[in-house]
Structure 1
């Protein structure tokens, strides 16, 4: 495998990427050419906020080719094009063979939610202190237990549920289930009927696979799985982002049974008042947990 590396200004990134694709590059990545220097530029904004700019002033493009000759031919042809005038070829180099599966797996270790509750990838043995374990491998859907919002939701489940006691969490709706990790966690801590829904069919499939791997029973599907008129749950979980949570306020609260709990995550600390105001006509929210600038908000519907 060989990679062609080149530098180009922000305005030319798209056209050069398209040209590399036409020249049969297997893949093209775009990086900040000034990364890890004083000239490095932040590109992505906070969740729910627009990016400060669309690209870096100087980008490093890395195009992957199966053989050395096509990589060098692509470099030669690019330099003949008018649009390449502001760009520079850095060079062509061999990419050492690696065990990419092992390399990827090495980046994911068991994650502790509480002292006795852990998220453990399939290639690891559970820690000796783990009494409750969710087996979960990184996949296409959001939710591996490493993000603060996921950990806070799982901590709430562990603190409010009880393995073998269906009366604690009761019936559960996981709205925006992603990998299904919250629904699976609820099942481990005594939930009875569990419905997990997402607008992404890949997330629904991921949830079903992960539920089978963890030997728990739940219903996974698109949002129409839930009866909009009669679906009431003792616990409603939604780990999304602040903006969709505000839009979904009447729908989510409507699914909470009398005396039931609403648990919301994906919220930054500075967004707490926004969420309280959005939900005020329906339920009173309070901050129940915080981690790394993120918060967990919960509310209880009157019995």
Structure 2
């Protein structure tokens, strides 16, 4: 396998990537900030459903993989022969060492501690001796492996509140379920009638597979699966969709029910409080690495 490394200005990143993948038949193309770790580095931020603030970095490094040196050389020659690609520069053409990609990927995912007793453990690891409650979850196509602070905070809340609340969680809604990790966590802690929904069919499939692997019963489907009121509503998405979903999520929240929201940065707390104010009073219940967990109880319950 050979890697072709190119330098391109912002305006050419997309056309060069398209040419590499579609016309020049690269096996894969990755794009990195060429100014990373320098004074010129500029971070890009965005949220699903919202237009990106910029199409890309001012200067980008593109890395394209090819099956052999001849294909990589031909791709570079053909690309640089195009008038529109005059600003593109070849930085390297180099062999890529063979690696055990499965083992390398697995090495990046170690068991994740949620509480002293509660852990997320990939299938290729043995649970730690102190792990009394375990979710078996492998990286997949859907978001939610327990490595992100938002997921950990949601699971931590479930584990800590379950002894007092689980008897009331006769129906649970995990909205935007991703891998299904929150729905599975709730079921393992005594919740019943768990519905996990997502707009992505791949997430629905992942949730069903992960639930089966963990021996829990739940229903997974597209958003129309969610019907009626739930004593526990979980949503780990991002701030913008959470604001838009406020009427829908609160309509699904039973009187006295618990609402748990994540995917929110500390600076976004007031925006979320305002969005949900007509139905409940949100408060910050946990924080980690700049992210916060916000919770509330519906009208006839007290805040958590």
Matches within 5 A, 1:180-259: 180-227=180-227, 231-259=228-256
Deviation at 1:51, TM superposition (A): 4.6
Larger mean Cα displacement after TM superposition, 270-279 or 7-16? 7-16
Preserved contact between residue 183 and residue 194 of structure 2 (Cα < 8 Å)? yes
Decide whether the 8 Å contact of 1:180 with 1:207 is kept in 2: yes
Distance in 2, matches of 1:244 and 1:56, equals 25
- Is it true that 1:36 corresponds to 2:37 in the alignment? yes
Moved more, 67-76 or 102-111: 67-76
Residue 177 of structure 2: aligned partner = 177
Superposed CA offset, 1:14-54 (max 9, x none): 22223323122112222222323333332x12657865532
| Aligned pairs (5 A) from 1:132-147 | 132-147=133-148
Alpha-carbon contact 1:160-1:169 (below 8 Å) kept: no
- The answer as to whether partners of 1:161 and 1:168 remain within 8 angstroms in 2 is no
What residue is the counterpart of 2:262 in the other structure?
265
Closer, same or farther in 2 for the Cα pair 1:14/1:250, shift >3 Å?
closer
TM-score scaled by structure 1? Answer: 0.93
Matched, 1:152 2:149: no
Q: Is the 8 A contact 1:241 1:266 kept in 2?
A: yes
Asked whether the 8 Å contact 2:46–2:53 carries over to 1, the reply is no
**Structure 1: distance between partners of 2:36 and 2:273:** 39
2 CA distance for matches of 1:74 and 1:300? 59
Match runs of 1:9-158 below 5 Å: 9-21=9-21, 22-42=23-43, 44-45=44-45, 47=47, 51-158=52-159
Structure 2 runs not aligned, ≥5 long: none
Do the aligned residues in 2 keep the contact of 1:279 with 1:285 (CA within 8 Å)?
yes
Change (3 A) 1:296 1:166: closer
Secondary structure, counterpart of 1:115 in structure 2: coil
Output one character per residue of 1:154-207: Cα deviation in whole Å (capped at 9) or x when no partner. 1110011139x8515332111111110000000111101111111111111110
Contact 2:47 2:240 in 1 (8 A): no
Tell me the alpha carbon deviations over residues 106-141 of structure 1, each in whole angstroms, 9 at most, x when there is no partner: 111111110110011111111100110000011111
**CA displacement, residues 274-301 of structure 1 (integer Å, 9 cap, x when unaligned):** 1111111111111111111111111112
Q: Choose 49-58 or 178-187, whichever is displaced more.
A: 49-58
Query: Structure 2 CA distance, aligned partners of 1:234 and 1:154?
Result: 17
Find the aligned partners of 1:20 and 1:269 in 2 and give their Cα distance. Answer: 40
Deviations 1:207-261 (A, max 9, x none): 000000000000111111122xxx1111111111112112211221121222211
Structure 2 SS opposite 1:162: helix
- Secondary structure at 1:161 match in 2: helix
Residue aligned with 2:269, SS: helix
SS at match of 1:8: strand
Give the gaps of 5 or more residues in structure 1.
Answer: none
Q: Indicate how the Cα distance of structure 1 residues 212 and 53 shifts in structure 2: closer, same or farther if over 3 A, else same.
A: same
